[in-house]
A and B are shown apart, each in its own frame.
Chain A
Amino acid sequence: MKNALLGGLAAVGLLAALPATASAEELNMVCGAEQDWCELMARGFEDETGNEVLMVRKSTGETLAQVRAEASNPKIDVWWGGTGDPHLIAAFEGLTQDPGVDTSDLLGWASNMHKISNGGTVGIYAGALGIAYNSEVLEERGLPAPACWKDLTNPAYTGEIQVANPNSSGTAYTELATFVQLFGEEEAYRLLTEIGKNVNQYTKSGSAPSKAAARGETTISIGFMHDMVKLAGSGFPLKIVAPCEGTGYEVGAVSVIKGAKHPELAKQFVEYALRPDVQSRSVEVKSFQVPSNSKASVAPESPDLASIKLIDYDFATYGERSTRERLLKRWNEEVKNASH
């Protein structure tokens, strides 16, 4: 009996060892870009301001799910990086707040992001959609190199193209919305269905197709060009194509979570993240997105947005829930069902 008691007491004692919740004056940051870039941002802000940054890297979808679940008692102050789509959703759902920063130096697409979200999120970088192909496999199979979106309907590419599924990937949704804006809805779905016949797999994650193409697991991929540049830079035989019809793009964003415990610090961080000298540093960690501050320097490897035909991507319309649900439903019915 005495032993039982001791055991029970030990168990209770263990439970009693509840720690304190996170203490004050530290910035809680979730980062949606790659680890090295996240570290660069967090440590840079620490060095400059002397405040501690508690940073963790999570994918944007996971962050959005967490922000939603924590809405009544948020633990995150600032959410930096990652594709802008989930940032916009969070803003539209009222999960973020206006940091109140000056956006006058930002390029049009970045301040536009700020405007349509009522200040809920600010653009920090942009990256265009493109096509990539593995030059070795392409040659081995004796296939022509694609130059336009329409080339991808070529039956010679059957089973050679990989692209993400827009139901799970923001990248693929950007592609779907780009097609609709570029070709009109009817023609877009006709083209996507045609291309769908050549698709060997609709991956869950948006960056997976280009990684597969880099290794030769597929021949052609669709994705963001800065990811492709990075893969090519690390030595893979990946060739990047800016489609001749023009293309859409994503805007990476930074948001302050509504009810953040350290709003002042979060605001300071957003100001820091928008500064030209800070944005210019992204090349140090081999990130080739185009910075949003017009005064920041662009890395020579970055896809030159000026030479790419960029469409006037309508984030307000295509970021909206009803449009999104309608387009995806149609995609599931027509495109997904046509694939094998």
Chain B
Amino acid sequence: MRKTIALWLAAGIVGFCIFPWYSVESGFWSFSWLFSEFLSEDAAPALFQALLYGRWWFVPLALAFVGIGLSFALLKDERTRAKALVILSMTGLALLFAQGFAIGRVGPELFIDALNFGSAAAGQVGFGSGAMITAGALLFILTTSISGLGQGRGDAFIVGSIGLIIALVITFVFYPVSQILIRAFEASDGGIDIALFFTRFFSSDIWSLACLVGGKTCGPAWNSVFLAVLTGAGTTLLGLAFALVATKTAFPAKKLLRVLTIIPIITPPFVIGLALILMFGRAGVVTDVLHDVFDISKSRWLYGFSGIYLAQLLSFTPIAFLVLIGVVEGVSPSMEEASQTLNASQWQTFKNVTWPLMRPGLANAFLLGFIESIADFGNPLVLGGNFNVLSTEIYFAIVGAVADPSRAAVLAVVLLMLTLSAFVAQRLWLGKKSYATVTGKADSGQHSPLNSALKWTCYGFALPWAAFTAVVYSMIVFGSFVKLWGYDNTFTLDHYIRAFSVSFNNGIRWTGVAWDSYFTTLTISTIAAPLTAVVGLLTAYLLVRQKFAGKNLFEFSTMLSFAIPGTVIGVAYIMAFNTPPIELTGTSIILIIVFVFRNMPVGVRGGIAAMSQLDKSLDEASITLGANSFTTVRKVILPLMGPAILAALAYSFVRAITSVSAVIFLVSARHNMATSFIVGRVEHGEYGIAIAYSSVLIITMLVAILLLQVVIGQRKLRRQNRLQTSNKNNELASA
């Protein structure tokens, strides 16, 4: 305990006295702040800002550090010392943020009258590395001291992790989101009006049920719920069918099936919608054939609920599959064998053993499908017709001809509430049962095959769907090689040449128009993916394995950023991070952060699903043998989490590449993203280049996922991962 605190105290002092407090113009990595600019006004650390430039508001913070150092050195009683450190480090954190918020870029923002003198009146810029290190050090002194008081079983790693995640979620989810949600309560004169909020909230614009009684459309809220429930159920079923086919049948082309189920997840937005239009739209290929052969009249059935539903099933089934495959694989064959030994039929085994054990997976897959559907923006935009859903309504409330941020905020609250309901429903369904099937005991069972009725049902769902996916994607690839997709099908390579040409005069020059955004996208996603996986899985570990107060709230708060539509997040991030103390707009950091916190829920969900299958006795054995919780995580849990880690890494990488709505507001000239580029092309009808670019992205992501799969590999459960091959052996034995 003492050593940890000493180290963090040292880190804090270094952050306060050596690193530049503010963000430096020339960039952190130039390191000029350490040499030529060390004591310049821009790059000086907090200590010298106070001594040389009259920034007196760092003095209280310095005093807090002195206090921490003194109590650390002088107080002998462990509990008294811990208590003193808790109070002092909290004071330090409060002082740090208070000065940041109180004194803005052009002078004081809070307590204006009291502060408006001297150097405070001149203002200050955003936090830099010094402030970040100092804040981190104070946070970990706080959590280490709290664990010193006996909280979290006195485990500094656990309390530190909880503290870190809470701090991150508050800074990068709550703080920005509150900036925009507060506007739901804003009256037209700028004041706060609670009654007005309820009027808006229950407005028939949002909740109308007219479609049930007349021909008119329902409100966007009901449309969204209806769509999300069906999408959640549909993707879970299809994902389950795929997962069962992949693990419990002897289907020959499993590898191909797996690739097919992954491709939709790595498809940039709009592309699936466009492909569907070209197939099933009024002038689509399939429509034409049906018209010519069967005389079915050409209609616009695709535009509206049916089109969105189809596109969402295509897009989100893979997510359900990724969650469920780990779960289905993890269901212990021993339990299935025990059931069969007790004379249960294959169907009874499935119904009474396998199915209940898959419940956490099913519930998580459904929840993800539901939330994805409700927050989906690209598909409703392209295929929505007159079927309005919340996500597009929110987008147009912000960017439409009549911008109405308070309406957007109200709609966002509705959307959040729907997500919360789904979350609660999921918890109720799962209850408090244990779903652990991976224990420390050797398990030499074999996965029981599905009974044939179930097997053919799974085939019946999965195979046509796989074929359909294959057709949709052939259309897309085809589209990138023809002059005018859907109209003039002359072969051409123009789109690829325009986007990705390279010239070899004087070394390699990337002359194609897409290279810039392509490289940026890859860099940012590569940085964001491992961070997302770490944050997501750490959170999952805390949620599944640790008990602490406010756990449910903690769990929901980690889901928050996922449930809020990207548009709202994008605008919220600009509002929160455009001005000091945390000034990030126009940098690549803001893109990385938005990806990490938007995609971490997938890591969390997948991690929870996988971890609730790991028996606690594994951890306990490790702890009993003297390992601390960090070692346990590293040596016991992580190796068993292979599929979940893979899913989290792959998914966050892919989402960072394909997400669009949040990113549109945050991209800048220096850091433009591929999707933003593609959407711009789609907006102006240049489908050829958009689709060529998308195809390249799809292949890039596919390669990345395959590489990940090779690197991470499969977890070894000391089970034979093969199916019982009927009863040949028995027959041989009896013969």
Contact = CB atoms under 8 A, between A and B. Distances in A.
Interface of A: 1, 3-5, 7-9, 11-12, 14-23, 28-29, 34-35, 39, 53-59, 61-62, 64-66, 68-70, 72-73, 75, 85, 89, 137, 159, 166-170, 172-173, 200-202, 204-205, 207, 211, 214-218, 227, 230-231, 234-236, 324-325, 328, 337, 339-340
Contact of A1 (B29, B156, B385, B571): B156
Interface residues of B, number: 88
B381 interface: yes
B536 to A, nearest CB: 14
A28 B29 CA distance: 23
Contact of B28 (A20, A200, A204, A211): A20
Contact of A340 (B215, B401, B668, B681): B215
Contact of A19 (B23, B281, B487, B680): B23
B487 A215 contact: yes
A202 B160 CA distance: 53
A165 B663 CA distance: 25
Nearest to B408: A65
B215 A167 contact: no
B300 interface: yes
Contacts of B563: none
Given A18-B28, A65-B665, 17 more contacts: A1-B4, A18-B589, A19-B588, A21-B126, A35-B684, A56-B668, A58-B664, A58-B676, A62-B399, A65-B398, A65-B399, A72-B105, A73-B579, A89-B403, A167-B401, A205-B381, A234-B685
A5 to B, nearest CB: 6
B575 A69 contact: yes
Contacts of A169: 400-401
A216 B282 contact: yes
Interface in B374-417: 381, 384-386, 392, 396, 398-403
B668 A16 contact: no
A5 B7 contact: yes
A35 B513 contact: yes
Given A4-B157, A12-B132, A207-B684, A28 B669 contact: yes
Contacts of A75: 578, 585-586, 668
Given A59-B683, A75-B586, A137 B484 contact: no
Contacts of B11: 9, 12
A181 B531 CA distance: 56
A266 B11 CA distance: 44
A181 B384 CA distance: 31
Given A18-B129, A35-B513, A167-B396, A204 B401 contact: no
A64 B665 CA distance: 10
B288 to A, nearest CB: 10
Given A75-B585, A211-B685, A137 B283 contact: yes
A89 B156 CA distance: 54
B3 A8 contact: no
B681 A35 contact: yes
A9 B672 CA distance: 30
B386 A1 contact: no
A236 B686 CA distance: 13
A89 B404 CA distance: 13
A306 B72 CA distance: 84
A11 B167 CA distance: 13
A109 B600 CA distance: 51
A21 B22 CA distance: 11
Listed from nearest, the 9 A-B pairs whose CB atoms lie closest are A61-B399, A216-B283, A54-B669, A12-B136, A16-B129, A168-B396, A168-B400, A69-B574, A34-B684
B363 interface: no
Chain A CB within 10 A, most for which of B136, B278, B392 = B136
Contacts of B664: 58, 62
Interface in B283-328: 283, 300, 303
A217 B277 contact: yes
18 contacts: A3-B630, A3-B634, A12-B11, A12-B133, A19-B28, A19-B29, A35-B677, A53-B669, A57-B676, A66-B665, A69-B575, A75-B578, A75-B585, A167-B400, A173-B401, A200-B300, A207-B685, A215-B283
B132 A16 contact: yes
B484 A235 contact: yes
Nearest to B3: A1
B90 interface: no
B119 interface: no
Contacts of A62: 399, 664-665
A201 B282 CA distance: 13
B564 to A, nearest CB: 16
B137 interface: yes
B25 interface: yes
Nearest to A34: B684
B160 A4 contact: yes
A219 to B, nearest CB: 9
A327 B157 CA distance: 61
B488 A72 contact: no
Interface in B119-142: 125-129, 132-133, 136-137, 140
Given A35-B680, A35-B681, A19 B579 contact: no
A324 B392 contact: no
Given A4-B157, A12-B11, A56-B668, A20 B401 contact: no
Contacts of A39: 513
Given A65-B665, A207-B685, A4 B156 contact: yes
Contact of B4 (A5, A18, A227, A324): A5
Contacts of B398: 61, 65
Interface string B17-52: 001000111111100000000000000000000000
B164 interface: yes
B402 A324 contact: yes
Contacts of A215: 277-278, 281, 283, 486-487
B628 interface: yes
Nearest to A17: B28
A56 B669 contact: yes
Nearest to B137: A12
Nearest to B157: A4
A23 B32 CA distance: 15
A259 B635 CA distance: 55
A259 to B, nearest CB: 10
B136 A11 contact: yes
Contact of A18 (B132, B386, B401, B486): B132
A231 B685 contact: yes
Contacts of A214: 487, 685
B623 to A, nearest CB: 14
A153 to B, nearest CB: 20
A58 B398 CA distance: 14
A20 B685 contact: no
Chain B CB within 10 A, most for which of A69, A70, A89, A339 = A69
B55 to A, nearest CB: 19
A110 B230 CA distance: 51
B667 interface: yes
A53 B670 CA distance: 10
Interface in B486-528: 486-488, 513
A137 B288 CA distance: 12
Given A4-B156, A8-B160, A69-B575, A16 B402 contact: no
B444 interface: no
